[in-house]
Chain A
Amino acid sequence: MSTGAKTTAHGASDHATRSGDDLRLASVTKRFGTFTAVDHLELTVPAGSFFALLGPSGCGKTTTLRMVAGLEKPTEGEVYLGERQITALRPFKRPVNTVFQNYALFPHLSIEENVAFGPKRQHRKQVDDEVDRMLELVELTGYGKRRPAQLSGGQQQRVALARALINHPQVLLLDEPLGALDLKLRRQMQIELKRIQLDVGITFVHVTHDQEEAMTMADTVAVMNAGVVEQMGDPVELYENPATTFVANFLGQSNLIAGSMVDTANDMRTVDVRGTKLRVPTGRARVDMGDVWVGVRPEKVFVESTGADGGSSSNVLPGGVVSDVSFTGVSTQYLVRMPWGQELTVFEQNTGARETFRVDDVVDLRWRAEHTFCLDAAQDARAGVEDDLSELP
């Protein structure tokens, strides 16, 4: 995730607020039998934004998308587009289009006919010129006469996009649109999608389980888990200041250490972790008292020789023993076993300016107090950890 990409992402919302209405889900619930897929979901997607619904499979994100498309009817709650309630509107009457997972292109129609399908059903005139313009937008000029089966995965993906965009929907829904592409093509399409969204200024709602994809493309990310939104915000905010253990683990990685809050004075709170006092900015503490998870991202932590002086603005956890070192080129990943048995993860950039360590070295862990966050100890510290999800698509 580069800062450059971020700047563009923010530019998008400013650039495109001109078009249309906000999408709003008011207490939307969807049950399948006894299973609650989406649970009293409250969500507002500002017009013209690139919005990502991020979560593991089965978290309800696709169901949410299908309810916006009208392919699924909410059990409770309402869907609004601007002031207009569209909850009961049938899919073919909604100003909303979908790019389906695996594209769902019509195999019996040519690329042109696929793209012209929507406009023809709405009896629009001069469709041909518009089809050409759309194919140009997705860089498929000259492919119009072919059949979907004659195109590569990436090309089919762009046809699906053109087929939806030609209708000038108020909201474009993308259901794991890049899921079937290989890694390289996926990166390329991420940039492409972002460019197209800036071009057309339509609200994009993008469903994905790939946190990097969500962070790279979206202005706003909503992290969903078990039918509810865990946290919503711009990617930097979500990453730097996660509100739940699920977000802390699902979006990147986190070290979560058990402690208890002992002092809430001023703008810094103090947490006791097995005799060591750590400080947490008040704005980053999600609980006021009692047991907590103290969290810090692995790349924010420095490994140091025991007793090195790091200044008073830092949190220091002494007495760790390096248990594993993996060199990955750009960085080195350390696993450090703490006196209470927990292994913490540290990513050190290989700048060459810092000391390197070997297994069994005794070390301190140091990080800046403002990088610390503090979560409710009632939450599962392993919620959203990637290992649990690695088998899922």
Chain B
Amino acid sequence: MSRAAAPVDEAPQSTAFGRRRWTGYLLLLPGALWLTIFFIVPMGTLVSTSLYDPNGTLETGYQVTWAFSNYVDALQTYWPEFWRSLIYAGLATLFALLIGYPMAYAIAFKAGRWKNLLLILVIAPFFTSFLIRTLSWKLILADQGAVVDFLKAVHVLGPDGRLLATSAAVVLGLTYNFLPFMVLPLYASLEKIDHRMIEAASDLYASPLQGFRRVTWPLSMPGVVAGTLLTFIPAAGDYINVELLGTPQQTMIGNRIQGLFGAGDYPFAAALSVTLMVMILAMVIVYIRRTGTEELL
């Protein structure tokens, strides 16, 4: 320690070098500890749980029996929920993109001095709890609510048609809840585009539509990829929206996992969790490769 306190120019070079190298590791330590305790250890626990003997119970205890059959059984039993999760999340992502892109575009390029206010409005829903907002949708979409009345009046819905407790309500809830996660990265990406790029496209005979397709859209691709991932991933694992806006017919994989954990069937729940994680990871990698936005990884 006394050596380390000596002025740098007197200390042998190797010591100075060594100390500098240790500083880096020391700075990494809190983060590394955090990740170990809260990510690596739980992940190991989750994977080992998924390999428990499926006949174990809270009373009899659980054993790691390398029961890979848990995965096969879980998938065989619950593939419709997997499938539904991916479709709902995919639809929600698509709608969020269709709504979010024009929003982000308008905020980035057309809002002028309203820009900051509009950004705050995008984030404003977060000031209230996720649960409360989803519960509010339950009221809005209720059978006796104004929205259903109106849709019945204009004959979009039949006389006994309803919105609540349908797939549409679940997808709507997902879209609504994850929209800010789409808009913000899109905005960040669009806002960075040098306006002269768009002028240059126009100068080089690109009509506004061509300019958008050839210049604005490709340059906003990092935002599109980030936004769709930030929407799709949490939406695929969500269970609150089905819980509040759907019925057992709309059950997503998140609901199953939650239910199984609640019922003490840890091996199945863990196997489903790991499967969902691996599926999403594989899809993300393929997606990022195909859109050529590897630098996001």
Contacts and interface: CB of A to CB of B under 8 A. Distances in A.
Interface in B89-112: none
A71 interface: yes
Contact of A106 (B197, B210, B221): B197
Given A91-B203, A106-B215, 9 more contacts: A91-B202, A92-B203, A93-B205, A104-B196, A108-B221, A117-B214, A118-B205, A164-B204, A167-B204
Contacts of A91: 199, 202-203
Contacts, number: 61
Interface string B14-38: 0000000000000000000000000
Nearest to A107: B219
Interface residues of B, number: 19
Interface string B197-218: 1011111111100110011001
B204 A121 contact: yes
5 contacts: A71-B202, A92-B207, A100-B203, A106-B201, A108-B218
Given A104-B194, A107-B219, A108-B218, A71 B199 contact: yes
A69 interface: yes
B204 A117 contact: yes
A156 interface: no
A105 B206 CA distance: 14
A98 B197 CA distance: 12
A122 interface: yes
The 9 closest A-B pairs by CB, nearest first: A118-B204, A104-B196, A121-B205, A104-B200, A91-B202, A108-B218, A92-B205, A98-B203, A121-B206
A108 B203 contact: no
Interface residues of A, number: 24
Interface in A67-120: 69-71, 90-93, 96-98, 100, 102, 104-108, 117-118
Interface in A152-192: 163-164, 167
**Best-surrounded residue of B201, B205, B206, B215 (most CB of chain A within 10 A):** B205
A153 to B, nearest CB: 16
A120 B221 CA distance: 22
Contacts of A121: 204-207, 210
Main secondary structure on chain A at its contact with chain B? Answer: mixed
Interface in B223-245: none
Contacts of A107: 219
A180 to B, nearest CB: 13
Nearest to B221: A108
Contacts of A104: 194, 196-197, 199-200
Contacts of A100: 196, 199-200, 203
Contacts of B204: 92, 97, 117-118, 121, 163-164, 167
A392 B205 CA distance: 33
A238 B221 CA distance: 51
Contacts of A102: 196
Contact of B200 (A90, A96, A106): A106
Contacts of A164: 203-204
B147 to A, nearest CB: 42
